[in-house]
Amino acid sequence: MDEDTRRRHAERIRNELLPGLEVISENSWNPVQVRKMPPGWKLLGCGNYAAVFSYPGDSRLAVKVYAPGRDGWEAERQVYRLIGEHPGFGRCHASGDDGGKRWMLLKRLHGKTLYDCLLEGVQIPEQVIKDVDDALSYAVSRGLRPHDVHGKNVMLKDGRGMVIDVSDFLKLESCTMWSDMKRAYYAIYKPLLSRSPFPVPAWMMDGMRSGYRWTRKRGKEQASRDLPEDASGDGMLP
């Protein structure tokens, strides 16, 4: 995208979207809420820090607006700068902070998340797993630390896989979500569901997610208890 086009899109966002938009976040563990928005702009979805809108007249673009008080905007901009262009990721074309309303103009990714594929019984080809592995390896080569890569953050489009959320790729703590998902794919999905996929009920998906979260939490607690005294920090106190 050339500079004139970026400038034109930025002006439209500032003049048409932001003045009539209200995005709030009551806490960091629930999705943000859009209290009001101007006509002509469509809400695509809400995360815990920001809301994403379609760009009127151009299905290739989307606008992400962070809720006031929520962190991550600057970090996500830096991640996109480091990634540059790669088929396994989206792209940030422009960004701005206008009166505390922080936004990004993004390449809009079309397809189905792996979570939705399971809900709808859509086949998930092994190529998706390989594509995401390749994308994450590239991210590591750019000095990033892939984090929070799971079924709702990976998209299937024309048989290929893409990572759709990179906002936590600067976090220092390790994350095993993608490794865990790969194990589940090869141990359960590929031998049992890949040839004849069927819709997995939402209640079952929610139960598996809750069980996974509980297992991860217990694992972290156990790892913390198993740390030697000096590694936990107490042994370094005078």
What residues form the annotated binding site for ATP?
64
What residues form the annotated binding site?
64
Each residue's pLDDT tens digit, 146-200? 999 999 999 999 999 999 999 899 999 989 999 999 999 999 999 998 889 899 8
Each residue's pLDDT tens digit, 222-236? 555 555 555 443 332
pLDDT computed for residue 137 by the predictor: 98
Segment among 14-18, 126-130, 217-221 with least mean pLDDT: 217-221
Domains by residue range for the chain, with CATH: 3-107 (3.30.200.20), 112-215 (1.10.510.10)
Give 3-38 as a 3 state SS string: HHHHHHHHHHHHHHHHHHCEEECCCCCCCCEEEECC
Segment among 15-29, 73-87, 217-231 with least mean pLDDT: 217-231
**Given a cut of 50, is residue 7 above it in pLDDT?**
yes
For residue 95, give the 3-state DSSP assignment. Answer: strand
What mean pLDDT do residues 44-51 have?
Answer: 90
Predicted TM-score of the model (pTM)? 0.81
Distance CA 169, CA 92 (A): 15
Query: Quick one: DSSP state of residue 227?
Result: S
Place of tokens 């990572």: 163
Average pLDDT, the chain: 89
